[in-house]
Structure 1
Amino acid sequence: MNGEPVDFLSISDAAKVKLKDAGAVLVQNVLGDRVSFEAIPTSEHRDDEIYLKQLKTPIPVISCFDLLQKQGERLKSGSEKLDELLDGGFKPGSLTEISGLPGSGKTQFCLQLCAVCQRPENFGGRPGQALFVDLNFGFSKSRYEGIRKYFIDQEKELDPIILRISTTNQLLAAIESFPDILLNNDKIRLIIIDSFSRPFMFDQVSSTLMSGIMMDLHSVAEDFDLVIILTSQLITNLSSDQEEAIKHQPALRSGYLYYINERIMFYGSHEKREIIFPDKLDGVAAIYEISNSGFVLK
């Protein structure tokens, strides 16, 4: 494909003209350093920019030895039973989606992770700090402090950094700023975006743009070897059969689920709460509750 003209690329005609004007006649010119992304009219053709970025991004290569070395460096959840289901905890360098209906305990669990990540037994013996991106305005300092005392000593606390935003553009800007934030604070080992799906439920984006966002998050997780947790709403649909059984599915699907390494679903109400791992072969499920001390798996 490298020797083909740029007309073969899946971008808009306007972007192709811009590339040719910048001197990129062949695909190999785009893959090299001959043309920059500034040649693309990004304000009008954001999808073109994302597509070309994906085209130019090299596929990372990691050895089996390096993978084995990282198996023990996982973020514990604060629940031994849940850690067993997670093969030891949350894996650095990966994206985990926690989805659930409103009130299922997603944010409560994330507050617990903010406390637990400060324990030195995580990440090879050094305590970590969380960056909590709050799109749902659900971070409660008093609730966090109530959970924290069950997991860490007061003098060892590294309280999470809170970033409160509400729109898609603010979220995009926050994700773009992650590398700079992390370069200036090497204690951050966990990023939580709660609720990641919220702005996209009001501001629809293309699958190409969503893929670009997820690719950026993956790069951050891998480059800085940290855990990224995304919470997402479950939406309710009625099936077309006669019983009209209720079905739940993640609010975000196109260009999104492909990049998720681990999926966890929180179901239920105050009477019965169930946690499900939909990607595991046996569809593992367990009962949990939210107590004063946080998340408890029964």
Structure 2
Amino acid sequence: MVDNSIMGPSVHSSYEKQTGTWQYVVVDPSSQKAVIIDSVLDYDPATQVISTQTADSLLSLIAEKDYKIERILETHAHADHLTAASYLQSRLEKSQGYKSPICIGKRIMQVQELFGKRYGVPVEEYRDVFDKLFDDDESFEVGNLKATATHLPGHTPDHIGYIIGDNVFCGDSLFHADIGTARCDFPGGSAIALYESGKRLLQLPEHTKIWTGHDYVSEERDTPVPYMSVGEHKERNKHLSRTITQGDFVSQREERDATLAEPKLMNPSLQINIRAGRLPRATPLGHRLLHLPLKLKGVEW
């Protein structure tokens, strides 16, 4: 856990290394009220085992600091990790005595319908599972702090970010400067839209901190970094620095995306995440099942 005290909120950043995901607990110091952003549920694809160590570490922090969680925020329906939103909501309701709403952008419904049909998820298992759907630029409070949900399409059509003080929690829009930006080849994704979203973020004051949803370490850089300033991105982001045009960006992004395999956890992630982290309903024998698409190579009968 890393505790970064900054102007406005205090930000606890927690890195989940299996999926390279940054999770955040964002706190108003004056009231101890807080939100959780983009939590992770542990999942082992080899054994199909779901566990909660990562989410439990957030709960331990929250209990230790006596934070009051007002909302559980999602930036989009992730395709690379399972959200712990529903699990956290259940545990927090028991400890706090009230239900912290799970929130996401209003366009999640089109994503739910698309992937619900793809995976055969019953409509009743994803309809109305989110407690709050944010409108574009809708404001809300984190204790005494003002926050805004801002639409950041490109990676996915439903993607939003959260502006809290001099901070933006941008989800899978911008990554570390040496990575650049997220892929845009999911259904409804758009390199042009992501370029415009990125440029909109970089129009914020240069000291604004942009907290990313992921970081991926390498031999060149073995320490994950949760944020960079707007000014740093303008100077160093390999996809969105000052000299990159929209045409340059779209060409680079689409060329790169054409080489990428689908995320390893895409199938279980999307089936859980369109349910807001809820598990599939149990069968009569007590099993909870996810669908795995088969790919036939030169075989038909």
TM over 0.5, yes or no? no
In proportion to residue count, which structure has more helix?
1
Q: Which has the larger radius of gyration?
A: 1
Compute the TM-score of the two structures, normalised by the length of structure 1. Answer: 0.31
